[in-house]
Amino acid sequence: MEIIGFFGALIMGVSLGLIGGGGSILTVPILVYLFHVDPVLATAYSLFIVGFTSLLGSSSHIRQGNIHWRTALVFGIPSIISVYITRQFLVPLIPQEIFSVGDFLITKPVLMLLVFAVLMVIASYSMIKPGKNQVEGAVEEVDYRYLLILLEGLGVGMITGFVGAGGGFLIIPALVLLAKLPMKKAVGTSLVIIGLKSLIGFMGDVNGNSLIDWRFLAIFTSIAALGIFLGSHFSKKVKDEKLKPIFGYFVLIMGIYILVKELIF
């Protein structure tokens, strides 16, 4: 199972480099179901793994000019603040046992996974549905909506802090639909935002947490880092209009799997 898990780490990196998201979507299930890491701790691990590999992957997008820096700042700063506050102060306040329905007990780990899965299914819709083709244009042509992007950053940061997801499956739709960024520019910008806010969010878990296995994190992250460089290379050969629905269906399938796994089996 560990061999399969580390192979999954490689695929997670490829996914993150190719479509700017999906890394945390893979990371949390891999840690929970293959390495049997507690879901709450897995969300912390995911923030570190996805954050570190995202920053590495963003380097190639910087060279390609695929970063919209103004959006990265307007979206990223409020997102960074909210994710840190959520991990440091809000998550520890959630009780271990939430409520029960008959013999089915909703615990803190189960709640995190269910919220994570529902958000994945919702986010997949905006990526799968057909829309007008994005045309590569000058940065000045971006239809910029400051308030909406800022509020989205705050919301995604809070969600990221709660479920430990990098948030690419939420950030990319926001950048494409609100900032009107072309898909590849949204991918590059997403990686920068994910990297910064995930690592800062992880800092909220470090203080006094003796459960963190740094050796395991280093191995998993190194394999994922190799994958993200492969994914970034493949992204140069894939057209924008093909990336969006592929990403959407991927998110949908993973979301449904987690829901079925936690509610039925």
Q: Which two tokens mark 90?
A: 């809000």
Domain span including residue 75: 2-263
pLDDT digits (tens, 9 = 90+) for 141-196: 445 677 887 888 888 888 878 876 667 767 877 787 777 788 778 878 888 888 88
Strands (E), the chain: 97-101, 104-107
Is the model's pLDDT at 258 over the cut of 70? yes
Q: Which amino acid is at 257?
A: Y
Tell which residue, 80, 85, 17, 51, has the closest CA to residue 228.
Answer: 17
Nearest-Å Rg of the Cα atoms of the chain is 17
Is the model's pLDDT at 136 over the cut of 60? no
Distances (CA, A) of 164 to 83, 109, 191, 229: 9, 11, 15, 23
Whole-prediction pTM value?
A: 0.75
Give the pLDDT score at 209: 57
Mean pLDDT of 128-146: 54
Q: Which two tokens mark 214?
A: 């740094």
Contact 186, 175 (CB under 8 A): yes
Q: Between 22 and 233, whose confidence is greater?
A: 233
Report the number of distinct structural domains present in the chain: 1
Quick one: pLDDT band at residue 215, thresholds 50, 70, 90? Answer: very high
pLDDT digits (tens, 9 = 90+) for 39-62: 888 888 888 988 888 888 788 778
The total number of residues written for the chain in this structure: 265
Distances (CA, A) of 19 to 106, 201, 215, 228: 33, 22, 28, 10
